Amino acid sequence: MQTITPTELKARLDSRELNALLIDVREPEEWEIDHIPQARLIPLQTIPSHADALPKDIEIIIHCKAGMRSARACEYLMSLGFENVTNATGGLDALRKL
């Protein structure tokens, strides 16, 4: 599984050249507390129902609170044939500490 560190993700977000679909797999309640403006909310349990609509021709970066749910989402999408899926290690918690 490809990964991106909090520092690398922050640099890409700050440069405004993310060039990827950023998906937040946390719950709506967590999203309301804090979220990355460039991200799209797709809670983990709904990933299967959204998978057909996700692009396979661009990088998909998935994040959550700490990196565990996003890793599961990455594994699931990779099992469906997605090749350019990246897990944001440390999640939003690590990103906010930078």
With contact defined as beta carbons under 8 Å apart, do 7 and 42 qualify?
no
Q: What is the pLDDT of residues 25-54, one digit of tens each?
A: 999 999 999 999 999 999 999 999 999 999
Query: How many structural domains comprise the chain?
Result: 1
- Quote the domain boundaries for residue 59: 2-96
- Claim: this prediction has a pTM higher than 0.85: yes
pLDDT digits (tens, 9 = 90+) for 66-76: 999 999 999 99
Query: What count of residues does the chain have?
Result: 98
Rg (Cα) of the chain, in Å, rounded? 12
Q: What is the CATH number of the domain that holds 18?
A: 3.40.250.10
